[in-house]
Structure 1
Amino acid sequence: MKVQILFSLFVQIATTIFVLPLVSQPSLANHPSDRPAIKQPLSIPLIKQVNRLIFNFNNAKANRQTAPGRRASGGRRPSSENPACSQSLNKGLTALAPERQEVTDNGEEMRSVLALSASEPLTLWFYVPYTEPLEAELVLVGDESDYSYSVKLPNQDGIIGLQLPPQITQSLRAGQRYEWFFSISCYPANPSGNPDVSGWIEKVNSTALPPSKNLRQKILRYAEEGIWQDALTLLANQRLIQTNDAIVQQDWTDLLQAEDLDDFVDEPLVKVYYLDSHSQPVTQ
């Protein structure tokens, strides 16, 4: 009898040792804290996040004199005199330059067209709406002389650049404003009807700007300091080289939109003219 009792007790103890852990502990597969973490898909931006270009005209360290000009010219409607001067998409000859509504000392309202430049050479940019190889003229009023340059336009509408000769750019003095005129010879017999735009360029001291680590930082710095002409020129050159660069295109868009030039964001850069001694500058 004692042997049977001891044997029964042994069986109960063995069952408790080998079976209890299996039923008393929850299944590892069902324990939330023991499940392997499920990796969530990462949110990867399609375009690298970069600082956006901000053009701040108020930071421009320009003198406070008025700069009367005209950024856009509708010109005259096509006539039998020169039907080649018809406009495309209702956009006329336009200078890619900042424009402001100002009030003169006499209380009169006027349009001011002024851009700053700190580097050399200096390039002026225009949208030309014509598709015929018309003659155009750029005049820069210097300290002592006026310089006139004639160019033949391409047979495609779009944006063109006119780069002044290095010797002319170097002669421009910091802190001084220089007036320019650009016109297209649509009506040789009646030049007063030609499409034309005008404005001013002011040279600023480049040594006042902090150094930049790379080209894009330089562009952003120019824009931040209100130096329109150099930011525009560097971006235009980048567009010509890196035609499919999303960051360059975004910077170009941001810059033009800052000055209400949205209509020209997608216009092609057609040609850059390098004005030199062959352009026959004429002093008056």
Structure 2
Amino acid sequence: MVKRIAPLAVFLTLISWALVNGELLQPALSNPQSSSEEEESSGSFEDYDRPGQRSDRGSRGSCKPQNGIFFTALIPESNSARSVSRNPRLWFYIPESTNVSGEVGWKHEQDDDFKRDNFEFTTASGIVSLQIPPITDEQLTTNEIYDWYFKIYCNPEKSDHIYVNGSVRVVPMPTELNNQLEAGLALEWNDYKEHLLWFDTLTALAELRLEADTPNLQIHWENLLKKLGLENLAKFPINGDLGVIQNQAEFSHESE
């Protein structure tokens, strides 16, 4: 006689097997990387919260933007991000206005006074970069935080200006990237991106676009800015380095 197994017993056996193998109530994942992408897009480029002003929305007089998009530093909302460069390059959107001259200042977070340089503009509005310190003979120190500001005067009298400020934390080169360099392999923008080095990622990608822009690079640029909620700036041209024409380095208190 063949022994019949009750349907309930079969059902319980299948349930037990599914629990053991972790296959019960597992939803289908249409994109297995969605969780990591969501984590990255939620601000993984952010460093410690620092005092600062990412955008000058109080633009007035001759500084008022014609297109309604304000002077903006391309930085996270925390006002701070990381770089492995001891002369990090900062990026900004400069609106269409009468840009006459500017001033950049930087200091160690524990110092009271800023060292600053004044300069005249040599590039048009759009996305521009500025290195700190502007002169490469001077470098920032690794494992330290530096505050910076960037001020633009919109008329010769310097009665109207726009202003943004933030911080950069200089960090050591990650071991993986250092090994890659020692092996003679160039670092790409996405290498920096994987290590959450915002300023280096942005600089490397911008330099690629300046050399030979492609639709694919434009998409990467837009997605990168979107992570910080700055996608409205992706359409503007990248005009490269501002440069310092009048190097008048001096120490002073920051003035907005």
* TM-score of the aligned structures, taking structure 1 as reference length: 0.63
Instruction: Provide the aligned C-alpha RMSD in A.
Output: 2.9
Distance 2:45 2:233 in 1: 24
Gaps of 5+ in 2: 1-32
> How far off its partner does 1:159 sit?
1.1
1:180-226 C-alpha deviation (Å, 9 max, x unpaired): 011112377786x63211100110001434344865x6311211221
1:69 and 2:52 are equivalent in the alignment = yes
Residue in 2 that maps onto 1:134: 100
Q: Return the letter of the residue paired with 2:70.
A: G
Q: Count residues with an aligned counterpart.
A: 206
Task: Report the CA distance shift for 1:206/1:275 in structure 2 as closer, same or farther (over 3 A).
Answer: farther
Q: Say which of 203, 206, 211 aligns to 2:170.
A: 203
Residue in 2 that maps onto 1:34: none
1:220-242 C-alpha deviation (Å, 9 max, x unpaired): 12112211000001111111111
> How far off its partner does 1:173 sit?
1.9
Q: Return the letter of the residue paired with 1:58.
A: S
Distance 2:58 2:155 in 1: 10
Residue in 2 that maps onto 1:122: 88
Residue in 2 that maps onto 1:96: 74
Residue in 1 that maps onto 2:11: none
SS in 1 for 2:79: strand
Q: Conserved in 2, the CA contact under 8 Å of 1:139 and 1:181?
A: yes
Q: Say which of 44, 49, 60 aligns to 1:58.
A: 44
Residue in 1 that maps onto 2:201: 231
Q: Return the letter of the residue paired with 2:84.
A: A
Task: Report the CA distance shift for 1:209/1:75 in structure 2 as closer, same or farther (over 3 A).
Answer: farther
Q: Conserved in 2, the CA contact under 8 Å of 1:75 and 1:194?
A: no
> How far off its partner does 1:179 sit?
0.4
Q: Percent identity?
A: 26
SS in 2 for 1:255: helix
Q: Return the letter of the residue paired with 1:70.
A: Q
Q: Say which of 240, 244, 257 aligns to 2:210.
A: 240
Q: Say which of 219, 232, 239 aligns to 1:270.
A: 239
Select the structure of larger CA radius of gyration: 1
Residue in 2 that maps onto 1:11: none
Gaps of 5+ in 1: 1-50, 100-111
Distance 1:252 1:75 in 2: 27
* TM-score of the aligned structures, taking structure 2 as reference length: 0.69
> How far off its partner does 1:271 sit?
3.8
Distance 1:148 1:73 in 2: 20
Q: Return the letter of the residue paired with 1:202.
A: R
SS in 2 for 1:140: strand
Distance 2:208 2:73 in 1: 19
> How far off its partner does 1:120 sit?
4.6
Q: Say which of 221, 225, 230 aligns to 1:256.
A: 225
1:165 and 2:131 are equivalent in the alignment = no
SS in 1 for 2:250: coil
Residue in 2 that maps onto 1:182: 150
